[in-house]
Amino acid sequence: MQKLFFLLALAGTIVSCRQPVKEQAAAAAADSTNSEIKIIDNGNVGFEKYFADKTMRLDFNHSGTSKEEHFAVDRIVSDGIWPGNRFVLIDKLELGPYFFEVIDKDSKTLLFSRGFASIFGEWQSTPEADKTWGSYNESMRFPWPKKPVTVILGKRDPQTNKFKTIWSIDVDPASREVNPADLVHSNTMDIIQENGPASVKVDLVILGDGYTKAEMPKFRNDVKRLSAVLMAQEPFRSRTKDINIRAIETPSEVSGVCKPHPGVYKRSALSVQYGIFDSERYALTFDNKTVRNAASQAPYDFMIILVNERTYGGGGIYNLYATVSADNKFADYMIVHEFGHHMGGLADEYYTSSVSYEAQDIKLEPWEPNVTALLDKNNLKWKDLLTAGTPIPTPWNKDVFDKYGYAVQKQRDSLRAAKVPEEVMEALFLKQYKQEDEYFSKEKYRDAVGAFEGADYTQKGLYRSQLDCIMFTRHIHYCKVCQRSLIRVIEQYTAVGPGK
- Contacts to Zn ion by CB under 5 A: 370, 469, 471, 479, 482
Query: Of the two residues 129 and 479, which places its CB atom closer to Zn ion in the complex?
Result: 479
**Do 193 and 240 touch, CB atoms closer than 8 A?**
yes
Distance CA 458, CA 23 (A): 13
Q: How many CB atoms lie within 10 A of CB 347?
A: 26
Smaller CB distance to Zn ion: residue 272 or 449? 449
**To which H or E segment does residue 223 belong?**
helix 216-231
State in angstroms the smallest separation of the CB of 223 from Zn ion.
Answer: 26
Q: Which is nearer to Zn ion, 139 or 370 (CB)?
A: 370
* Beta carbon of residue 100, minimum distance to Zn ion (angstroms, whole number): 27
Q: Least distance to Zn ion from the beta carbon of 346, Å?
A: 6
CB of residue 225 vs Zn ion: minimum separation in angstroms? Answer: 24
Tell the smallest beta-carbon distance from residue 483 to Zn ion (Å): 8
CB of 480 to Zn ion, least distance (A): 8
Using Cβ positions, the residue closest to Zn ion within the complex turns out to be 469
Sorted by sequence, the CB contacts under 8 Å of residue 259 that are 6+ apart come out as: 266, 273, 274, 275, 309, 311
Sign of the Cα torsion 90, 103, 244, 300 reads negative
In the complex, least distance from residue 446 CB atom to Zn ion, rounded to whole angstroms? 14
Nearer to Zn ion by Cβ, of 81 and 347: the residue is: 347
Gap between the Cα atoms of 150 and 498, Å rounded: 24
Helix (H) or strand (E) run with residue 151 in it: strand 149-156
Name which of 140 and 471 has its Cβ closer to Zn ion: 471
Q: Cβ distance 433 to 473 under 8 Å?
A: yes
C-alpha atoms less than 13 angstroms from C-alpha of 453 in its C-beta half-sphere? 16
Asked whether the beta carbons of 409 and 353 are under 8 A apart, the reply is: yes
Q: Which residue, 222 or 456, has its beta carbon nearer to Zn ion? A: 456
CB nearer Zn ion, residue 246 or residue 484: 484
Task: Concatenate the DSSP letters of all residues of 321-336 into one string.
Answer: EEEEETTSTTHHHHHH
Q: How many CB atoms lie within 10 A of CB 423?
A: 11
What's the closest the beta carbon of residue 433 comes to Zn ion, in angstroms?
17
Q: Which is nearer to Zn ion, 18 or 70 (CB)?
A: 18
How close are the terminal C-alpha atoms of the chain, in Å?
39
